[in-house]
Structures are given as C-alpha cells and as structure tokens.
Amino acid sequence: MSTSQCTRGQNGWTTEGWRSITQKFNDRFPEARFSKQQVREKERELKANYKMIRDAKNSSGVGWNESLGMLIAEPRIWDELIKVDKKIGKFRKKPFPLYNDVASLHEGNVAIGDLNFTSTQGGAPPSAARTTHAPPPARTAPVPPSAARTAPAPPLAIAAPNYD
C-alpha cells in the first residue's frame, strides 16, 4: 500500500486515510477483521520503535546491520543506551526488519531535535515556527573493534528521547 493511495494530513493520517488503510488490511486478511483502532495502535507502536531505533542508530558507537535489520553495538554501549531508555533493550537481540518501511512512511513527518515536543510541554519551542522539515540526522559509523582497543572511547552522551 503506498502513501499516495491514502490521505495524510499535517499531523498524520486523516479519518479517510485510516478508513482506507483499515479496509486494505481487511481486504488482504479477511479472517482477521482489524478495527481502525487496532490498526492505529499498531502504527503508533511501529512509529515509536522506529524513532527509538533511529535515535539509537545516531549514537556514537552504534551501527546498523542492514541485512539483519538490527542495531549493532558493543556491550558497554548497549548498557548506556538502556540507561537512557529501557525499552531499547528489547532490540539488543531482536531485529526490526520493518525499519526502512516505517522510515519511508514517517521520515520528514517525525519531529527531531528541538522540534520534538509534546502538547503537554506547554507550547512549541521558538524554532517550531520554521516552515521546512529538518533533514534526517546524519548516521554515525560504528566503531570497529580494533579502533576501540587502540584508543579509549570518548564518554557516551545520549540525550533522552521523547516518544510522545
């Protein structure tokens, strides 16, 4: 299903878009009979996992194995990532093969950096008045094990992501 076949508003799928998406799922899997709410909840879960992995991928010392669909990092880096967000721990040994598919749906529509805020935070930051989307953050290359042994790694600084 392509995004051009569904209606997407500024803040996500429109009511008509959700109706269309749900109908397409039910046409494909008629015995399941998904409700619109079930489809929306799964999309929220996938989007949250995507954002969590995207943020972890951009941390120093973290790589991505495209063929496995998994984050790759040394144990001490995983420990640091988990200190910041316990939920990332489930991806230590578990792949997320839908990463690129979810990215194609949401990149450019997922707030990053100082544009990432929720309505409960009291108002938009001054930079939220921008009219253009920020480019996706640059990927960092994983630290090869040989480089990690020859020089001490700099302290890991990871900002706590906001998944609201």
Burial zone of 115 (CB within 10 Å; 0-12 exposed, 13-18 middle, 19+ buried): middle
Tell me whether residue 52 is in a domain. Answer: yes
Tell me whether residue 103 is in a domain. Answer: yes
Residue 7: pLDDT band with limits 50, 70, 90:
confident
The HSE-up count of residue 30 (CA atoms within 13 Å, CB side) is 1
Tell me whether residue 20 is in a domain. Answer: no
Q: What is the pLDDT of residue 12?
A: 79
Q: CA separation (Å) from 25 to 21, 32, 39?
A: 6, 9, 8
Q: What is the pLDDT of residue 13?
A: 83
Tell me whether residue 76 is in a domain. Answer: yes
Residue-number span of the structural domain to which 76 is assigned: 43-150
Tell me whether residue 23 is in a domain. Answer: no
User: Which structure tokens are listed for 20?
Assistant: 């269309």
3-state SS record for 138-159: CCCCCCCHHHHHHCCCCCCCCC
Number of domains making up the chain: 1
The pLDDT > 70 percentage for the chain reads 61
Mean pLDDT of 76-91: 96
Tell me whether residue 158 is in a domain. Answer: no
Tell me whether residue 48 is in a domain. Answer: yes
Tell me whether residue 15 is in a domain. Answer: no
Q: What is the pLDDT of residue 163?
A: 54
Helix then strand then coil, in percent of the chain rounded to 5, is: 50, 5, 45
Residue 101: pLDDT band with limits 50, 70, 90:
very high
Closest CA to 56 of 84, 98, 35: 84
Residue 91 CB partners (closer than 8 Å, separation 6+):
49, 52, 53, 56, 70, 71
Higher-confidence position of 146 and 51: 51
Residue 105: pLDDT band with limits 50, 70, 90:
confident
Question: What is the largest distance, in Å, between two alpha-carbon atoms of the chain?
Answer: 57
Which residues in 56-88 are b (16+ Cβ under 10 Å) and which e?
bbebbbbbbeeeebbbebeeebbebbeebeeeb
